[in-house]
Structure 1
């Protein structure tokens, strides 16, 4: 039975927590204003520099698999640029962005933005024996680079694994969360998904997961309807998990955020 404390988060934590990145553990603006432009400017140079290599072939093959038609470098590049400009969650684009960002991280030109409450939350979940996973549209390689190069140091030792479009499926599809639950070997009700996107949270809830929405203080979007909303991960560590929120739960949490 849910407790009645502020935030609507009951006692009895989840077996594992699965976290989104953009807008949840890291700044949405960092992705939009730093990472995306960095990769967009380097799509053509990367393909030209790696022409004929195994990674180059994998990208072209991925574009062909995604579209159902063969593509040479020029036509593949045109599609990749179109997808980048429209922010299409296409696996070939995400894979290439990850490769480009990896070079940027290695060169010290990029870093992954992580909110300051994230490292202590991960540390406490680890100490509690709670599994800690990331699920993002970005490739697994990009996720590892993000958490491996932060202002708080290398956070990868605090994470147990990663899921992306190719390993779990689209984030707004209920079957994706069923697949993750099966992979983790836990009942859906023992898993908590934390995200800033309503469609993703709805999909997870549809698969039987616990869900919590995040609205960071720098995020001007409206609260996510139907899900308890928090402004940081701290309340989830002290009172992890949640069941179906009530209207009073959501109102209280939103009021707390407005007064921070």
Structure 2
């Protein structure tokens, strides 16, 4: 694929994670299975902690909102010590249902983030990044670019992935993080919100993603967009290929000072 020469005026770069900086397989084959395999053990070990009880409270509120959905799992209130086992099992089943339905609720992401934090800190998990990412990002930083992450995963989960990566602590390379609390990634308003937050016009931002619907939303909001084509990512149609610049590696992205 040809080099993508970024238009002059771009001073901020917004990047997706899954399928863009990090293999999709890392999320599907490492992060998610860790939750499913360890959820009950984690609940039992952390049950009495205030942070965990807040996680349960948020999951319970989400369950009340989901009561109209097929297969939803309610989470009963914890009244006495005798209820603990019943509530724990309900939380396990609720989390498994949300994950099997590919839900991306804030409550679920919050619990997952706390579980991953423990796993990263103990070395059970290390964040994966493509080999071309760090050299390119370091070069962009040297050019004076500001870099931000925007992912459906929580900000905490993002910081864990890059803070405990196979390349070491990469957090110093990024100027900020955004998750779905700023809006869903397929809605153009979310990208306008991000532009407001970073304090620059939409046309001064380049968004890198592998998801076509996100690309369209960002483009509608006035951002420049490049689709990142990585192994295992969803196949693109001819129309997709004609609508967006395509790159298979970050080193194909060149800024005016590099051209």
Q: With structure 1 as the length reference, what TM-score do the two structures score?
A: 0.83
**Per-residue deviation, 1:178:** 1.2
- Whether the aligned pair in 2 keeps the contact of 1:223 and 1:229 (CA below 8 Å) is no
Q: Deviations over 1:115-136 (max 9, x none)?
A: 1111111111111111101111
Match of 2:75 among 71, 82, 88: 71
* The structure with more radius of gyration: 2
C-alpha distance in structure 2 between counterparts of 1:200 and 1:171, whole Å:
6
**Per-residue deviation, 1:219:** 2.9
**Per-residue deviation, 1:68:** 3.8
**Per-residue deviation, 1:10:** 4.2
Q: Which residue of 1 aligns with 2:82?
A: none
Q: Which residue of 1 aligns with 2:79?
A: none
Q: Which residue of 2 aligns with 1:89?
A: 104
Pairwise CA RMSD: 2.1
Is 1:30 aligned with 2:26? yes
Q: Which residue of 2 aligns with 1:258?
A: none
Match of 1:120 among 112, 126, 135: 135
Q: With structure 2 as the length reference, what TM-score do the two structures score?
A: 0.83
Q: Which residue of 2 aligns with 1:135?
A: 150
Q: Which residue of 2 aligns with 1:202?
A: 216
**Per-residue deviation, 1:64:** 3.3
Equivalent residues in 2 for 1:10-25 (5 A)? 10-25=6-21
SS in 1 for 2:148: strand
- Whether the aligned pair in 1 keeps the contact of 2:5 and 2:255 (CA below 8 Å) is no
Q: Which residue of 2 aligns with 1:231?
A: 248
SS in 2 for 1:42: helix
C-alpha distance in structure 1 between counterparts of 2:256 and 2:244, whole Å:
15
SS in 2 for 1:194: strand
SS in 1 for 2:227: strand
Unaligned runs of 5+ in 1: 241-260
Unaligned runs of 5+ in 2: 66-73, 77-86
SS in 1 for 2:5: coil
Runs of 4+ in 1 over 6 A off after TM superposition: none
SS in 2 for 1:12: coil
C-alpha distance in structure 1 between counterparts of 2:16 and 2:75, whole Å:
32
C-alpha distance in structure 2 between counterparts of 1:121 and 1:58, whole Å:
39
C-alpha distance in structure 2 between counterparts of 1:11 and 1:192, whole Å:
9
C-alpha distance in structure 2 between counterparts of 1:227 and 1:142, whole Å:
29
**Per-residue deviation, 1:162:** 0.7
Q: Deviations over 1:70-98 (max 9, x none)?
A: 83334333221101122211111111111
Match of 2:188 among 174, 177, 181: 174
